[in-house]
């Protein structure tokens, strides 16, 4: 008989022969005396055995050694990286003779680094010659003008520009159909100053780039400068109560009296700007600003100063007289001595969009030599900050109001009727004046169009010169260009 003996949960089995019957001792243990059950189980199995882990100390020691080894390797890798950087720096220093550095604002007495040299215009590329060549290229729509080869004095360079070929070709087609005597269009990206298009039309035989010439009266574009001075220096508000006599677009001495007359009409600063009210701005120039403040803000807005650009730009001029009527004329833009270039006109809107910061304009993105090595690369930079953010925000509101209810409302209304432009931010300022002999009419607009996403936007500066018959107006140019740029 075979019996399997279990003691509680003990897994060890002891077999005993008890006759010829087989039974489970878990049940039989109920009938066996306690002393008998204990004696029938192998006590050597039940006795607890103490385990002495003789290899544990050795194992822990190995873990510590492995950790120390890992830390050592990490430090060696870091040290190798540092030594590698030092080696590269020394190699650059001894190969170029100049220590590596990325600071572009270091004093002039420090050596110029190789990285900075890429932002220095190469002497072998004369700006005037490049300007003449570029304007001949942009007036030929079949050719691409975003990249071309320029050769001068035996040197060969590959010029990469910021121009949008499709936009450039579209504007050239508009100009050819415009029936204007002269016209100039500058389109730029306000966020970085890139020139996206620069085209001109001239039927009177002028071969210069009209976009860069400052031979044209600024007219009411100068009201942007006067408005900034009134807001910032004279404490004007957008809804400042004002009055005027006579027509909004004339400027006579009787209209410049400070006191209200029986025929005075009420208005406010916002409406006076939107409607380009000459008499209101004339009185602002006399009684609120004066010669010194107008001169100060004209220079802040880069009048009588050179504008740095890849191509030569004529200086926009503003002569501020001392007499009252002269102050009224320049503050309102109702004179023919304040001159501005189309490029400068586009920068005025860009400054408003950029919260008072005027970006440096650029049209050449890079220049590569005959070996295809980059010798010049443009860099985004701020040219000037003539006004603070609050004043810029107010000017932006004024230009938006002018686009909706002022002199550009009819042209821009066509844009707002389209679903694409329902949420766009549109702003503008126009200007119109005849030449000294009343032979030509100068027709201006500076404007901005900003997409709702905030990522896309353009600023335009457009001049149209008309003869006996009016050609395409500057406002119509602006509307068509904005529609094409964002619609396509």
pLDDT in tens, 221-240: 999 999 999 999 999 999 99
- What pTM was computed for the model? 0.75
pLDDT at 1 over 70: no
Exposure of 418 in the CB half-sphere (CA atoms within 13 A): 14
Whole-number Å distance between alpha carbons of 388 and 231: 11
Q: Cα–Cα distance between 270 and 288 in angstroms, integer? A: 16
At 57, is the pLDDT very low, low, confident or very high (cuts 50, 70, 90)?
Answer: low
- Kindly give the pairing relationship between strand 339-340 and strand 265-268: unpaired
Which range is most confident: 58-62, 118-122, 183-187, 405-409?
183-187
Quote the CA–CA distance of 117 and 293 in Å, as a whole number: 39
Whether the Cβ atoms of residue 289 and residue 331 lie closer than 8 Å to each other: yes
Range in 10-24, 60-74, 115-129, 320-334 with the lowest mean pLDDT:
10-24
Mean pLDDT (the chain) is: 83
Residue 317 has what DSSP assignment?
A: B
How many CA atoms lie less than 13 Å away from 258 in the CB half-sphere?
6
Q: Is the pLDDT of residue 97 over 80?
A: no
CA distance 407 to 145: 34
Tokens for 395, please give them.
Answer: 């000017």
* Run of H or E including 241: strand 241-244
User: From CA 274, how far away is CA 333, in angstroms rounded?
Assistant: 14
* 21/143: higher pLDDT: 143
Give me the pLDDT at residue 215, please: 93
| pLDDT the model gives residue 88 | 61
| % of the chain exceeding 70 in pLDDT | 80
Beta bridge partners of 432: 443
Q: What is the mean pLDDT of residues 455-468?
A: 95
């Amino acid at each position: 008989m075979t019996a399997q003996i279990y003691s509680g949960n003990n897994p060890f089995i002891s077999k005993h022969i008890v006759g010829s019957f087989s039974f489970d001792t878990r049940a039989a243990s109920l009938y066996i005396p306690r002393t008998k059950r204990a004696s029938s189980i192998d006590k050597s199995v039940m006795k607890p055995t103490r385990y002495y882990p003789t290899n544990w100390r050795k194992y822990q020691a190995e873990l510590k050694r492995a950790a120390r080894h890992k830390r050592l390797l990490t430090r060696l890798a870091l040290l190798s990286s540092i030594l590698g950087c030092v080696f590269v720096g020394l190699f650059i220093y001894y190969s170029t003779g100049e220590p590596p550095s990325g600071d572009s604002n270091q004093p002039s007495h420090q050596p110029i680094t190789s990285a900075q040299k890429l932002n220095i215009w190469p002497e072998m590329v004369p700006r005037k010659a490049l300007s003449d060549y570029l304007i001949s290229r942009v007036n030929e729509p079949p050719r691409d003008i975003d990249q071309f080869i320029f050769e001068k004095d035996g040197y060969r360079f590959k010029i990469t520009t910021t121009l949008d070929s499709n936009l450039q070709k579209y504007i050239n087609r508009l100009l050819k159909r415009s029936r204007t005597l002269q016209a100039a269009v500058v389109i730029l990206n306000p966020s970085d100053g890139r020139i996206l298009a620069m085209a001109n039309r001239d039927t009177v035989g002028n071969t210069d780039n009209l976009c860069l010439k400052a031979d044209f009266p600024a007219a009411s574009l100068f009201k942007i400068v006067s408005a900034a001075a009134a807001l910032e220096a004279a404490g004007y508000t957008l809804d400042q109560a004002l009055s005027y006599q006579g027509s909004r677009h004339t400027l006579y001495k009787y209209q410049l009296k400070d006191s209200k007359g029986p025929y005075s009409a009420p208005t406010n600063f916002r409406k006076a700007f939107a409607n380009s009210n000459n008499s209101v701005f004339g009185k602002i120039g006399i009684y609120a600003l004066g010669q010194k403040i107008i001169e100060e803000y004209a220079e802040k807005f880069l009048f009588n100063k050179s504008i740095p650009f890849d191509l030569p730009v004529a200086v926009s001029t503003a002569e501020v007289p001392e007499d009252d009527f002269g102050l009224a004329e320049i503050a309102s833009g109702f004179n023919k001595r304040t001159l501005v270039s189309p490029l400068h006109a586009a920068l005025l809107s860009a400054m408003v969009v950029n919260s008072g910061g005027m970006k440096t304009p650029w049209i050449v993105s890079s220049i590569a030599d005959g070996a295809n090595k980059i010798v010049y690369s443009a860099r985004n930079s701020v040219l000037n900050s003539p006004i603070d953010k609050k004043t810029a925000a107010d000017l932006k509101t004024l230009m938006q109001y002018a686009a909706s209810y002022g002199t550009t409302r009819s042209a821009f209304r066509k844009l707002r009727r389209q679903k694409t432009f329902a949420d766009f931010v549109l702003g503008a300022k126009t200007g119109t004046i005849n030449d000294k002999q009343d032979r030509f009419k100068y027709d201006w607009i500076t404007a901005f169009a900003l997409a709702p996403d905030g990522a896309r936007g353009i600023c335009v500066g457009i001049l149209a010169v008309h003869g006996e018959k009016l050609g395409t107006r500057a406002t119509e140019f602006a509307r068509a260009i904005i529609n094409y740029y964002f619609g396509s």
